[in-house]
């Protein structure tokens, strides 16, 4: 290991090369607040390195707010970091793409007269960035019914090319109309843009584009009420099918009764009447967090928890930590589970954070646990944690779960959710 020791005034700085990281650590007389710079290189699609791999200081963490999807796209990015002592860092992250796409293929049926696309023959693909597919063979006469071998390649945006892919194309006389797999009910607020195709899934027995038209003539987006929306799906052979749904246009203010009506229907899908409070909350966590029915965005309106819950669960499918709290709170209200809302202490870390403290016991014999449905970057399971576990998480992301503990009941000490990544801290 090469060591280059320099003196700057009275400060001795030790610069070390560690696994591709240029890491400068003040050995003595460090000036907190002076931003330090690091460099690291990853392959596109890989995870960010554990902050402890970059900064050997307790409490090292990435600072929220950067584009976490950058790890999937080649380029150079600057990511802010901090450690448990308040020292700031800037990580120069270089993302390279040296891996070719890994593809599995599928048998595709085409109607006579269709125009085949190489992308249609991809069954699964491992590729972080974008890609295109192209044929490496002469395509058959698409007016002739039969089976034909096809060969194609997949090329990613960095120029990496997959190995030759082989599949089979069957040309048929198509008389089967597309099938509507899911046609969900829709909801929107007065005056808001309506995503009529949200959640709509249509499949056809043959490759090629299926044209979907939406009939929303009966909808008045400026007047609350329930309206019918129609859909028409037409495949390349002209086969057509129809479906319809209902869209609920609500006034700007969503009432708790309206929210509970939708929560009741959702709760009936993901829970059973014989579940304990713990089992109910684990089902809620699985639905929101594990199944990703709410996608994370960096900010939201925090003025009304009812609307925040309704929007994230039934309208947009997105939200920040407040929406995750609001959605979890809605289920707690429905199930009659006592809970407290907790907000991170201002200044403990950049931004803010919200989560719940829930009682899975009884009023006479309470059992309090922390309940956070937000998907954490570390992948830590945050469903029903003890005080010790949330304190331990502060070692992974400095200040993340810092709050005024004296204002809330103490949690149970018995751990009921394993967090292997935190065990060394409690």
Kindly state the tokens that stand for 208: 């090629």
Q: What pLDDT, on a 0 to 100 scale, did the predictor assign at position 250?
A: 81
In this structure, is the dihedral angle defined by the CA atoms of residues 55, 59, 61 and 63, taken in order, positive or negative?
negative
CA distance 58 to 81: 13
- The residue count for the chain: 426
Hey, which residues does 243 pair with through a beta bridge? 231
| Angstrom distance (rounded) from CA 85 to CA 82 | 8
DSSP state string for 100-115: PPEEEE--EEEETT--
pLDDT of residue 7: 31
Walking along the chain (426 residues) 10 residues at a time, the average pLDDT comes out as: 34 30 35 76 90 82 84 93 85 95 95 93 91 93 95 96 96 95 82 85 91 96 93 95 90 88 96 96 96 86 88 88 96 97 88 95 95 91 96 92 91 95 91
Q: In this predicted structure, what is the pLDDT of residue 32?
A: 43
Q: What angle do CA 246, 321, 290 make, to 5 degrees?
A: 70
Give yes or no for a contact between 95 and 88, defined as CB atoms under 8 angstroms apart: no
Task: Identify the pLDDT of residue 22.
Answer: 36
Q: How far apart are CA 233 and CA 208, in angstroms?
A: 13
Residue 396 vs residues 60, 270, 372, 390, 424: alpha-carbon distances, Å: 6, 32, 16, 10, 11
pLDDT for res 14? 27
What's the pLDDT at 108? 96
Q: Which pLDDT belongs to residue 6?
A: 32
Phi/psi for 422 (5° steps) reads -105, -10
| Separation CA 137–CA 140 (nearest Å) | 9
Q: What is the rounded distance in angstroms from the CA atom of residue 272 to the CA atom of residue 27?
A: 58
């Amino acid at each position: 290991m090469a060591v280059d020791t320099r003196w700057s005034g009275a400060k001795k700085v030790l610069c070390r090369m560690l696994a591709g990281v240029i890491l400068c650590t003040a050995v003595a007389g460090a000036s907190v607040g002076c931003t330090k710079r690091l460099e690291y290189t990853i392959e596109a699609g890989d995870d960010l390195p554990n902050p402890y791999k970059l900064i050997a200081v307790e409490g090292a963490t990435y600072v929220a707010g950067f584009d976490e999807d950058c790890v999937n796209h080649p380029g150079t990015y600057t990511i802010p970091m901090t450690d448990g002592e308040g020292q700031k860092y800037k990580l120069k992250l270089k993302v390279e793409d040296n891996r070719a796409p890994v593809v599995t293929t599928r048998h595709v049926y085409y109607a006579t007269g269709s125009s085949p696309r190489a992308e249609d023959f991809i069954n699964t693909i491992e590729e972080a960035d974008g890609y295109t597919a192209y044929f490496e063979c002469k395509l058959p006469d698409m007016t002739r019914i039969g089976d034909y071998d096809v060969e194609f390649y997949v090329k990613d945006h960095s120029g990496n090319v997959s190995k030759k892919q082989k599949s089979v194309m069957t040309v048929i006389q198509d008389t089967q109309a597309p099938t509507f797999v899911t046609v969900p009910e829709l909801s929107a607020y007065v005056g808001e843009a309506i995503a009529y195709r949200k959640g709509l899934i249509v499949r056809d027995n043959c490759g090629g584009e299926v044209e979907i038209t939406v009939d929303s003539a009966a909808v008045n987006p400026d007047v609350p009420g329930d309206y019918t929306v129609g859909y028409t799906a037409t495949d390349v052979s002209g086969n057509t099918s129809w479906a319809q749904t209902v869209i609920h246009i609500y006034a700007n203010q969503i009432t708790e009764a309206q929210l509970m009506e939708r929560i009741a229907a959702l709760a009936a899908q993901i829970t059973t009447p014989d579940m304990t409070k713990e089992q109910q909350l684990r089902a809620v966590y699985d639905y929101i967090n594990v199944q990703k029915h709410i996608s994370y965005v960096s900010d939201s309106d925090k003025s009304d928890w009812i609307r925040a819950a309704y929007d994230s669960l039934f309208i947009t499918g997105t939200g920040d930590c407040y929406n995750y709290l609001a959605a979890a709170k809605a289920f707690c209200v429905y199930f009659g589970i006592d809970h407290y809302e907790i907000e991170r202490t201002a200044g403990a870390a950049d931004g803010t954070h919200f989560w719940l403290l829930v009682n899975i016991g009884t009023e006479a014999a309470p059992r309090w646990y922390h309940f956070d449905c937000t998907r954490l970057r570390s992948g830590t399971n945050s469903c029903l944690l003890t005080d010790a576990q949330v304190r331990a998480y502060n070692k992974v992301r400095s200040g993340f779960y810092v709050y005024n503990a004296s204002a809330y009941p103490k949690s149970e000490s018995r751990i009921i959710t394993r967090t292997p990544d935190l065990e060394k801290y409690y």
